[in-house]
Structure 1
Amino acid sequence: MNFSDILLHRRVRLATVLLGTTLLAGCAVGPNYHQPAAPKLHSYTTSRLPNSTASTSGAGGTAQHLVIGQKIAGEWWTLYHSKPLDALIRKALGNNPSLESAQYTLLAARDTARAAEGGFFPSISGSFQAERVRSGLGTTSLGSAGAGLTYSLRNASVAVSYAPDVFGGTRRQVESLHAQAEQQRFALEATYLSLTANIVTASVTEASLTAQIEATERIIRAEKGLLDILDRQVALGGIPETNAITQRTQLAQTEATLPPLRKQLAQTRDQLAAYEGVPPSRFHAADFTLADLALPESLPVSLPSALVRQRPDIREAAAVLHQDTAQVGVATANMLPQITLSAGIGHEALDGQALFAPQTLLWNLAAGITQPFFEGGTLFYKRRAAVATMKAAAETYENTVVLAFQNVADALEALHYDAIALAADTAAEHDAQRSLNLIERQFRLGGVPYTSVLTAEQTYESAVITRIKATAQRYADTAALFQALGGGWWHRHDVKKQVETCCGVLP
């Protein structure tokens, strides 16, 4: 066999190795990820709740109807029919730094996954080198010459290297990074959902506090009026001074409730400013009142089987599980042989004009394989740690699902009992109002002293405050239900265009 036959035989064997490793690259070690099955449940609560809540007269007293399987609006907060609320959320969505951060984090995660996809393809590079050399041995790399020769050497070449993904380590790593990008996708949705729900809740809190402050101020005015009457009666000797002291104490206690309400109102406004993404000194949104809000009457209730697809936190936990499952494959592949292939072709010549002549051609082909034998248990324990991390992620996913179902059950039960509480508080307010009207008529006829009128006013205003709190609680718990059901993100486009339209090397 002559030299050319030997060279041809070696080329055929190398091509066979290339073909074999390419075919093997379709395999991937490690467990394949499977989406956990949704819980087979038919209801969220232990006992069946009625499809409609109790109703009562007045603002926020309408009955709410629970509709199984009803579509959840992407902009669910518009169901409150409040233009100030819509405007505030619109500004927050366009200006909140947390949302912007989540968008860029998602873009970084997706680009990291796209960068890793380059490992599926060969790496090709070109080089050119020119150097001036003096040889003391009288030889050059291209042959012999006179002693002390000084010459120029030029080299132009192209190199190709490729690490076939024989056992799927690269494929599992890319899979893990795509799952990480998926996790960031739903972290964005969770941020979006929390922001909108928090704005609604804070707006309801502001409206409630404003109404409570107004009612408290009315109570204080009534108590001051009663104290003035008692002071005059004490001066005339008609009643003991202890009556006036008791009333003065009551007035002081009522006045002491006002600063905490005002403090909470100011802090709620500061909170709304932070949600909008501006300092409190630059927040100029109008004050919210309960009259600005309408209670949504028709409420969607998703099927339990659909909840796991709708909740961003569940989807995020599933993506973490996917990521950790793929990492088990990466750790397994690191324990197996690693194959590398390389080739190069180029020209080397003393004369630039002859650089690409056939006789200056250089080339090389190489193949290598590396098998770890002993690394002190590093690879073994890394794989075992990856398996433990995967199992922990699976348990975290299960816990997330349980908490999600708890959130929905809590919200449904809260709406049911909120309506009952509001009906009772409204009835108490109406009774206090009728009692006040009756005592006022008796006073005008001289049947009761004026102090009885002021006491009835205090009772009425206290009933008003209780009813205000109950009304606000219904508004807030309605927002909690939308949040617990996922907020309808699948009916919106929350990912920015620059993030969504980027594409990877592979589909």
Structure 2
Amino acid sequence: MRGGLRIALTCITSFSVSGCMVGPDFKPPARPSDTHYIPQSAPGTAETDGQRPELLEGRALSVDWWRLLGSPEINDVVERALANNYVLSIARAQLASAGEQVKIARSGLFPQLDASSNVARRKYGQSFLGPIATTFPAFSAYSGGGVFNYDVDLFGRTRRNIAMAKAAHDVQREGLEAARLNVAAETVMECLHIAATNAQIDILHSVILSDEKNLKLVTQAHDAGVATLTDVTTAQSQLDHDRTLLPDLQQARDVAYDALAFLTGTTTARSSLPEFTLAKLTLPRNLPLVWPSEIVRARPDIRAAEAELHAANEAIGVATADMLPRLNLSATVGQQGLVGGPAGMAWSLVGGLSAPLFHGGALKAQKKAAQDYYTASFAQYQEVVITAFREMADSLHGLEHAYASVETNEQALGSAGQALKLSRAGYAVGNTGVIQVIDAHRLEELAEMNLVKARTDCLRQTVSLFVASGGGVHQTVAAQH
């Protein structure tokens, strides 16, 4: 009997899988036909002095792209963030849950077998078996066995549900990839913020030291009768002003460390995080640039949007199948008998075919709602794609202007340094007043600060380009596409 039941179940399952599937088959959207992100020359394509990077179009970006910055400290902190960040822990759990939902959907392809049993005390009346039934004594009976149910997938409803669950799983998988990219990017950006702030603090310490020397010089000149009290007051005021700039920079650095501790999944613990030095960071000379036609495969948010679109497509198939007949098979087999008496084998087999006739327009509305949701999902997909192109264009423009800013600020710093040198030399022989020296010193300070900001912006724009490019594709993700 078991062999026959196994053969029957196999035949039913095969029939269900081979049944037709109603509704539209999913086709991924066409890839972009664009060949460039921006119309003008990108960094490295125009004639430069060799300081700007070269864009390598079509070159794949490594998954651990942050290593291109050449900072062991950043590498360490990013790895800690990827291992301990709670956002990623949530995303991993959601992905695991979505995987279980796929298993649940797949179970619909197989018969459901449950155990059942019951004990009853009965007394028949004449309305059931006639007047003679009143002479039957009350009795106790029991039954026990298995209950078999199977919903034959005539029109692909179950298979559409499986495909929809797989698409939802893909959404969660790409959500994990997007979260991983965002956590790495935020961690690197905080490291760059700390490095830039440290550089500005160092410059400010140097400025304050120079202010103190200027004050000493002016004071000596005043004692010698060649400088006025106004000159001394002006020098003292400049020193006091520059000292007030330190607390804000130190606060910004501490806040950045707090954010970094949060990203690495720990409480604020400055001592466990390394120092970051701007001068030790490397600007990559070669920047991988994904082709516009490949951006839809490179970015996890676009892949997630496509998976959402796939799920919406399968929902149309489910809604279509709900408008058609459904075939259900059920059977019971087990032992029945009187309590205290002998038992015997009993079985039943029932096949039921149901078809919707009138549901007040609900089924048509469900299908139309699924179609409308697909339309919305397609528009959402297009928005995500065009957002990717905008972010790539913004990053490329940002790189171009950031490197131009570095070049102009280097020239400005050189000019300011030369002007300060001449002003101090003139002051030493009495040809220049202290105000001119302080102003020249102020210009050099601003030039140094601006150069630090420009170099930091180059690093930030480089990271933004890596993030806009999708942050590299894991081999497991690439294999599934």
Taking a change above 3 Å as real, the CA distance of residues 232 and 333 of structure 1, as seen in their structure-2 partners, is same
Unaligned runs of 5+ in 2: 1-7
The correspondence for 2:303, drawn from 278, 297, 315, is 315
Is the Cα–Cα contact under 8 Å of residues 147 and 330 in structure 2 kept in the other structure? yes
Q: Which residue matches 1:342?
A: 330
Counterpart position of 1:127: 116
Distance 1:241 1:277, change over 3 A: same
Query: Which amino acid letter does the alignment assign opposite residue 328 of structure 1?
Result: I
Q: Which residue of 1 aligns with 2:260?
A: 272
Q: 1:188 to 1:112 in 2, by over 3 A?
A: same
Q: How far off is 1:463 after superposition?
A: 0.9
- Given candidates 61, 68, 72, the residue that maps to 1:79 is 68
> How far apart are residue 90 of structure 1 and its match?
1.3
- Kindly state the Cα deviation for residue 182 of structure 1 after the two structures are TM-superposed: 0.2
Residue 383, structure 1, aligned to residue 367, structure 2: yes
- 2:3: which partner in 1? none
Among 391, 401, 414, the residue aligned to 1:430:
414
SS in 1 for 2:266: coil
Q: Tell me if the contact between 1:54 and 1:420 (Cα under 8 Å) persists in the aligned partners.
A: no
Aligned counterparts of 1:24 and 1:136: Cα–Cα separation in 2: 46
* Cα distance in 1, alignment partners of residues 88 and 231 from structure 2: 59
Work out which of the residue numbers 97, 117, 126 in structure 1 matches 2:106: 117
Residues 284-338 of structure 1: per-residue CA shift (max 9 Å, x gap) = 2122110231111111011111111010010011111111111111122222222
What corresponds to 2:95 in structure 1? 106
In the alignment, residue 413 of structure 1 is paired with which amino acid? H
1:262 Cα deviation after fit: 2.4
User: For 2:79, which of 90, 105, 112 is the aligned residue?
Assistant: 90
2:206 pairs, out of 218, 241, 251, with 218
Superposition deviation, residue 199 in structure 1: 1.1
Aligned to 1:44: 37
8 A contact 1:55–1:419 mirrored in 2:
no
Question: 1:49 deviation in Å?
Answer: 2.4
Identify the residue that residue 346 of structure 2 maps to in structure 1: 362
Residue pair 1:66, 1:298 contacting (<8 A) in 2 also: yes
Equivalent of 1:296, from 280, 284, 289? 284
Change over 3 Å in CA distance of 1:94–1:20 after alignment to 2: closer
* Distance 1:102-1:23 versus aligned 2 partners, 3 A rule: closer
Aligned length: 467
Q: Is the 8 A contact 2:13 2:110 kept in 1?
A: no
Pairing partner for 1:64 from 50, 53, 60: 53
User: 1:76–1:482: 8 Å Cα contact kept in structure 2?
Assistant: yes
- Residue 234 of structure 1 deviates from its aligned partner by 7.4
Q: Deviations over 1:24-52 (max 9, x none)?
A: 86222222111001111111112232535
Please give the secondary structure, in 1, of the residue aligned with 2:359. coil
Q: What residue identity is the alignment partner of 1:381?
A: A
Q: Please report how far the alpha carbon of residue 162 of structure 1 lies from its aligned counterpart in structure 2 after TM superposition.
A: 1.1
1:492–1:204 distance in 2 versus 1, CA, 3 Å: farther
Between the aligned partners of 2:184 and 2:13, the Cα distance in structure 1 is: 55
Q: Shift of the alpha carbon at 1:428?
A: 1.3
Q: Is the 8 A contact 2:142 2:339 kept in 1?
A: yes
Q: Partners of 1:205 and 1:23 in 2: how far apart? A: 60
SS at match of 2:346: strand
Tell me the distance in 2 between the aligned counterparts of 1:437 and 1:230: 16
Q: CA deviation at 1:389?
A: 1.0
Aligned with 1:296: secondary structure? coil
Deviation at 1:269, TM superposition (A): 1.1
Matches within 5 A, 1:173-192: 173-192=161-180
CA 20–112 in structure 1, closer or farther in 2 if over 3 Å, else same = closer
- Return the offset for 1:146: 11
Q: More deviation in 323-332 or 22-31?
A: 22-31
1:35 and 2:19 correspond: no
For the aligned residue pairs, the C-alpha RMSD in angstroms reads 3.3
- Cα distance, 1:283–1:153 mapped onto 2, change above 3 Å: farther
Partner of 1:404: 388
TM-score (norm 2): 0.86
After superposition, what is the alpha-carbon deviation per residue over 1:454-478, rounded to whole angstroms, capped at 9, x for unaligned? 4433322221111000011111111
Alignment partner of 1:156 is 2:140? no
1:145-191 Cα offsets, whole Å, 9 max, x none, are 99685655332322211111112222212211111110000000000
Moved more, 299-308 or 449-458: 449-458
Per-residue CA distance 1:338-380 (angstroms, 9 max, x = gap): 222112222312377842xxxx332222122222233232222
CA change 1:29–1:253 in 2 (3 A) is: farther
Residues 16 and 109 in structure 2, CA contact (< 8 A), matched pair in contact too: no
Query: 1:341–1:148: structure 2 CA closer, same or farther, 3 Å change rule?
Result: closer
Once residues 81 and 456 of structure 1 are traced to their aligned partners in structure 2, the CA distance between those partners, rounded to angstroms, is 36
Query: For the residues of structure 2 that align with 1:222 and 1:248, how far apart are their CA atoms?
Result: 12
**CA offset at residue 399 of structure 1?**
0.9
Unmatched segments (≥5 aa) in structure 1: 1-14, 495-499, 501-507
- Tell me what 1:3 maps to: none
- Distance in structure 1 (CA, Å) of the matches to 2:390 and 2:134: 90
The residue correspondences of 1:356-505 to structure 2 (distance < 5 A) are 360-444=344-428, 447-448=431-432, 452-491=436-475
Q: 1:109·1:177 contact (CA, 8 Å) conserved in 2?
A: yes
Q: Distance in 2 between matches of 1:112 and 1:23?
A: 21
